Every structure is written in C-alpha cells, then in structure tokens.
C-alpha cells in the first residue's frame, strides 16, 4: 500500500488525528485550530481518502499498518468513528508506537447485538453498502445527515461537514472497505489486551455511538460533550480541545484511569 498523505501542523507533543468514513483530514480544521498551539498535529488521510491516492482496498489491519508507517512513534492518537477502529487495530498491532488513544465518538463495535445495545442496526450499514453501487454522492450525503442527527447545532455542523466533503471524494473501494470494517469489526474482547491508555470522548446526543457506551466500558475514563452529535469536534471544537488537552497535555499522566 502506498504511503499515506499526512499534514503536519502546530508545535508541541505529537497527536495523530484519524478521520472517519467517507471524509478526509480536512474534517479536523475547527479542532486543529484549537490545538495547533499545544500539539504537533499529524492529520492522516486514510487509504483512498483525501490526498492518499491508493485505491483504499484492503482490510483494517492493512489500513492500521499504513497509518503506523506514516506517523511518528510515541504519539498520542485520537480516532473518530471508523478512525477509532483503525486506531484500535494499530494499538493492538504496535502498542509501543502509541502513547495513548482517545476514541472520539467511536466504539469497539458499531453494530448492535443482543448483548450490545450501544450500536446501530446492521441493516443500516447494509443499506448504505447497497446504495453505494447506485449513487455514491447520495449515500455520502445521507451518512452526513445521520452524523448530525440530534446535535444542537445541526444545520451549522451539517454545512461544515458538507463543505469538507466537497473538497475531496473517497474512492469507491475505500468506501466499500470502510463500510465492511464498520459492519464486521468487534474489539470488545480484545480491549483487555489493549496496552496504551484508552479514553472515550462522546457526544451527548450521538445516535450512532450513544453516550451510554461509557456505562458499558466503565474501566475507561469517559467525557461527554453536552449537546453534541456524532461529530462533536465539528459542532463543539472548543469543548473537545479542552478535554483532549486535559487528558493529553505533558505531565497529565498516562494511566488509563486518569
């Protein structure tokens, strides 16, 4: 797989930001503006997204490996949505490469199950997969609408996400591969072996990754952004930046229960 495109911004300790399905690293602009005077940011374009020109096929381990090759060792990571799954795989594959991980509106399992109510119905992702072959653009726009559902700044957040999407379309192979990862990935049993400190930053009104996830994963510190949906760093960048700094600033400590 070709080396991924990574934009570097700011100064300070290294922080890797991994975007979600169908987007690219430009989605972080509002948050990056809040963080670039505190961290050296590494804004990754996943395979087949943004300026990463490989087709985007492959499995989650291949994507995680590509990100690991493109960013510095010893960095903190934050992964949004699908990016959180990729980051979990990276942390399991190379725990010494990652100082800590924040799952930002992300989860070890996206699909609902009998023993896992904190997810979406598998049929939703199956429908998106079926629609991809008919109309990529309409499918992406529908997914953006799901991400802002419930947010107190719905219209503004949707405009921002649409503006980011308009600056770069992912490949069809990347969209299909990413949906498969959302549909099939389940890291719950592997969290016990996850070595880097792990934290959860959630949106209070997120309908894709419910805030109730924190109750299911009580061993990990969690913080909920009031009024936010699935893209809290877009709708509430100041609040997200403040919490990330609280957890990740030098001297804050790296214990998972800190």
Is residue 254 classed as helix, strand or coil in its secondary structure?
coil
Active-site residue flag, 206: yes
Alpha helical stretches, state H, the chain: 29-35, 60-70, 82-93, 122-132, 136-148, 154-165, 172-184, 213-216, 232-235, 237-248
Contact present, 46 and 17 (Cβ < 8 Å): no
List 171, 206, 223, 235, catalytic entry = 206
Contact present, 168 and 24 (Cβ < 8 Å): yes
State how far the Cα of 174 lies from the Cα of 170, in Å rounded to an integer.
6
Contact present, 48 and 173 (Cβ < 8 Å): yes
Cα 227 versus chain centre, distance = 19
List 25, 52, 81, 171, catalytic entry = 81
Q: 52-58, long-range: CB within 8 Å, 24+ apart, which pairs?
A: 52/2, 52/4, 52/5, 53/2, 53/5, 54/1, 54/2, 54/4, 55/171, 55/173, 55/174, 56/170, 56/171, 56/173, 56/174, 56/175, 56/177, 56/178, 57/173, 57/174, 57/176, 57/177, 58/1, 58/177
Active-site residue flag, 81: yes
List 42, 223, 230, 236, catalytic entry = 230
> Nearest-CA neighbor of 41 among 204, 248, 226?
248
Active-site residue flag, 59: no
Number of other residues whose CB lies within 10 A of the CB of residue 132: 17
Active site residues: 81, 206, 230
């Amino acid at each position: 797989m070709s080396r991924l495109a990574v934009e570097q911004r700011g100064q300070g300790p290294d922080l890797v930001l991994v975007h979600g399905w169908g987007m690219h690293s430009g989605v972080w602009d509002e948050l990056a503006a809040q963080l670039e005077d505190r961290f050296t940011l590494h804004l990754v374009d996943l395979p087949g997204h943004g300026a990463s020109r490989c087709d985007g096929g492959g499995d989650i381990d291949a994507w995680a490996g590509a990100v690991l090759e493109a960013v510095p060792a010893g960095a903190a990571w934050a992964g949004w949505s699908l990016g959180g799954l990729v980051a979990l795989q990276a942390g399991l594959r190379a725990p010494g490469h990652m100082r800590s991980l924040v799952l930002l509106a992300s989860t070890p399992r996206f699909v609902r199950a009998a023993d896992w109510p904190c997810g979406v119905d598998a049929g939703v992702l199956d429908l998106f997969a079926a629609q991809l072959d008919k109309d990529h653009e309409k499918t992406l726009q529908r997914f953006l609408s799901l991400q802002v559902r419930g947010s107190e700044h719905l219209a503004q957040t949707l405009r921002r996400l649409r503006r980011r999407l308009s600056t770069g379309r992912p490949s069809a192979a990347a969209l299909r591969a990413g949906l498969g990862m959302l549909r099939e990935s389940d890291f719950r049993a592997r969290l016990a072996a996850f070595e880097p400190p792990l934290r959860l930053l959630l949106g209070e009104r997120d309908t894709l990754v419910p805030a109730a996830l924190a109750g299911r994963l009580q061993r990990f510190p969690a913080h909920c952004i009031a009024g936010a949906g699935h893209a809290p760093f877009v709708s509430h960048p100041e609040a997200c930046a403040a919490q990330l700094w609280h957890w990740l600033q030098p001297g804050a400590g790296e214990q998972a229960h800190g």
